[in-house]
């Protein structure tokens, strides 16, 4: 396979156990295709871990971010402006991916923010010049530095292999742009729309949909999974090793959140669905997260979005806003009070059954959430506000002008997605994805098993053959 033979591949490591995962993928590719591996990342101690595993320091480029830095040089504004134009990003835009993650970042001075922008622009340019890779493999963007890297790769026409969780259990795909469109899905769906599905394809799609309705399975890395004691122990041993090579203490918030969540559960803050009541459904997103901070950035203010939806629905409908089940106590009291002030809005418990809420709703609205994909499988109408792969589906409406929201809601309310079209989209997703878990170890430790590493490599090979 000439696409990979003797190629130079740059792996991006970072938090969530990415050093271990990328190292395993690199070794597999080296064994099969004699590739040359290079590594770049900013996680504390990540470079030392790789060196201990036998990777030469000459093959590692490290750029470490520190919130606490006080003595920094004055940024070269002319250089930054030139870089914005050259690579096609806006510093104040991409800073908002990282800024909300810690409160102290919101207090950074203008010069401190621009210093970090200049630092990562220069470091990323130096890294790409130093290694001159044919491909770069990584697992999604998680910060402003990730956008800078992505934009530079596109500018220099370096092959992007962004491994993406496909939202189908044990399947992943690959993205190559910052538009959150899967290139193979675009290709497959445009072809399948023009033809009739075979009986085998229809059965495959119907079986998948029935399986989802019966088992209510979630994507890899989402929700609680049944696991053996052996795997659980292995997970925490691995977690301890990560903390040791990073020389960090555990995130104590993980110990506090469960108790804080329980207090909220018994506080009377949340409501349960009322049987027989007509409603539209908007599940809250975790924020900050790239899915909202970048792909849904014009609607990242969920309080404002909830107000706009509540003002756009008919008088005989309620808006059900379901709290996200992950660390919901981290949201402020003000946030919840603002949601509850609208007379036609109910703040639904994070423990309410999401699939039942979707089934009984007249319409699902989401920024970029997995609930939109699940609604498609249940043949429910969907309106999205951000950039997400299933916007490609002809039956999904993506809001481009918020002023048209009342009319869009009216046009889709209580409608049913065409079954034949749904089957075609489901098959398109299957045909554009590959076996394997495309998630970080921090979300699913099973992604590190040798079988999964082999599947990831095989998926990369198939993707390059199909592209």
Instruction: Inform me whether the pLDDT recorded for 223 exceeds 80.
Output: no
- Alpha carbon distance 260, 328 (integer Å): 9
**Taking the domains of the chain in order of start, what are their residue ranges?**
8-186+434-466, 268-423
- Exposed / middle / buried, residue 316 (Cβ in 10 Å: 0-12, 13-18, 19+): exposed
Q: What is the dihedral of CA 343, 349, 350, 351, to 10 degrees?
A: -150
Rounded CA-CA distance 367/382 in Å is: 10
Residues with Cβ within 8 Å of 82's Cβ and at least 6 positions away in sequence, in order, are none
User: 429: helix, coil or strand?
Assistant: helix
In angstroms, the Cα distances linking 336 to 114, 284, 314, 342 are 33, 11, 23, 11
Q: What is the mean pLDDT of residues 23-47?
A: 94
Token pair of 355 as six digits? 């699939």
Query: Do the domains at 8-186+434-466 and 268-423 have one common CATH topology?
Result: yes
* φ, ψ at 146 (rounded to 5°): -65, -40
C-alpha 33/C-alpha 16 separation (Å) is 27
Query: Is 295 a residue whose pLDDT tops 90?
Result: yes
Whether pLDDT at 379 is above 80 = yes
Longest dimension (CA), the chain: 67
pLDDT surpassing 70 at residue 1: no
pLDDT in tens, 247-268: 666 565 666 777 778 888 888 8
User: What pTM, to 2 d.p., does this model score?
Assistant: 0.92
Is the pLDDT assigned to residue 246 strictly greater than 90? no
Q: Evaluate the omega torsion of the peptide bond into residue 452 and state whether it is cis, within 30 degrees of 0.
A: no
H helix runs in 34-105, sequence order = 46-52, 77-87, 91-98
> DSSP E strands: which ranges in 301-442?
318-322, 345-348, 364-366, 382-384, 397-398, 434-435
Mention every residue, 6+ apart, whose C-beta is less than 8 A from residue 402. Answer: 308
Q: Mean pLDDT across the chain, nearest whole number? A: 92
Q: Which value, in Å, is the radius of gyration of the alpha carbons in the chain?
A: 23
CA–CA dist 164, 154 (Å, integer): 18
Topology at the third CATH level for domain 268-423: Rossmann fold (3.40.50)
- For 96, counting Cβ atoms within 10 Å of its Cβ (0-12 exposed, 13-18 middle, 19+ buried), the class is middle
Give the confidence band of 239 by pLDDT, cuts at 50, 70, 90: low
Torsional class of 393: left (φ above 0), alpha (ψ -120 to 50), beta (otherwise): beta
Plot region of 228 (φ>0 → left; ψ -120 to 50 → alpha; else → beta): beta
In the numeric block, which tokens belong to residue 460?
A: 């990369």
pLDDT at 296 over 70: yes
Q: Among all chains, which residue has been given the structure tokens 């060196």?
A: 51
Residue range 311-360, pLDDT digits in tens: 999 999 999 999 998 878 888 899 999 999 999 999 999 999 999 999 99
Please state whether beta strands 159-165 and 36-41 pair in parallel, antiparallel, or not at all (unpaired).
Answer: unpaired
What is the predicted pLDDT for the residue at 327?
A: 73
Q: If you classify domain 8-186+434-466 with CATH, what class do you get?
A: alpha beta
Partnered with residue 382 across adjacent β-strands are: 364
Q: In angstroms, rounded to a whole number, what is the distance separating the alpha carbons of residues 130 and 126?
A: 6
Q: By the 8 A CB rule, do 348 and 310 touch?
A: no
């Amino acid at each position: 396979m000439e696409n990979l033979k003797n190629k130079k591949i740059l792996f991006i490591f970072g938090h969530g156990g990415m050093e271990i995962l990328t190292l395993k993928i690199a070794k597999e590719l080296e064994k099969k295709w004699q590739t040359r591996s290079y590594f770049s990342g900013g996680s504390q101690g990540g470079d030392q871990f790789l060196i201990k595993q036998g990777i030469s320091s000459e093959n590692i480029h490290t750029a470490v971010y520190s919130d606490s830095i006080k003595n920094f040089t004055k940024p070269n504004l002319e250089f930054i402006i030139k870089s914005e134009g050259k690579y096609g990003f806006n510093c104040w835009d991409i800073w908002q991916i990282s800024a909300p993650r810690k409160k102290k970042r919101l207090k950074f001075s203008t010069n401190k923010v621009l210093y970090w922008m200049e630092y990562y622009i220069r470091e990323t340019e130096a890294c790409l010049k130093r290694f001159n890779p044919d491909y770069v493999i990584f697992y999604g963007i998680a910060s402003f530095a990730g956008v800078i890297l992505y934009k530079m790769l596109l500018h220099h026409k370096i092959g992007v292999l962004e491994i993406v969780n496909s939202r189908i259990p044990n399947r992943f795909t690959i993205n190559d742009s910052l538009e959150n469109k899967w290139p193979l899905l675009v290709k497959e769906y445009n072809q399948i729309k023009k033809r009739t599905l075979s009986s085998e394809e229809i059965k495959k799609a119907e079986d998948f949909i029935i399986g989802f309705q019966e088992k209510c399975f979630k994507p890899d890395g989402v929700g609680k999974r049944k696991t053996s004691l052996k795997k659980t122990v292995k997970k925490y041993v691995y977690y301890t090793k990560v903390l040791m090579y990073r020389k960090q203490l555990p995130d104590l918030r993980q110990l506090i959140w469960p108790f804080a969540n329980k207090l909220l559960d018994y506080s009377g803050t949340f409501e349960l669905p009322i049987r027989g009541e007509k409603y539209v459904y908007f599940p809250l997103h975790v924020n900050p997260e790239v899915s909202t901070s970048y792909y849904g950035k014009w609607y990242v203010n969920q309080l404002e979005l909830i107000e706009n939806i509540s003002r756009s629905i008919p008088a005989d409908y309620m808006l059900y806003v379901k709290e996200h089940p992950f660390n919901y106590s981290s949201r402020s009291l003000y946030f919840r009070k603002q949601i509850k002030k609208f007379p036609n809005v109910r703040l639904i418990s994070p423990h309410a059954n999401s699939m039942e809420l979707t089934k009984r709703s007249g319409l699902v609205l989401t920024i970029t959430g997995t609930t939109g994909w699940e609604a498609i499988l249940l043949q429910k109408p969907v309106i999205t506000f951000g950039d997400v792969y299933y916007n490609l589906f002809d039956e999904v409406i993506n809001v481009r002008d918020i002023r048209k929201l009342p009319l869009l809601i009216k046009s889709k309310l209580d409608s049913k997605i065409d079954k034949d079209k749904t089957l075609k989209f489901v098959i398109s997703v299957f045909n554009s994805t590959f076996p394997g878990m495309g998630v970080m170890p921090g979300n699913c430790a099973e992604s590190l098993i040798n079988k999964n590493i082999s599947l990831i490599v095989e998926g990369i090979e198939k993707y390059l053959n199909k592209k």
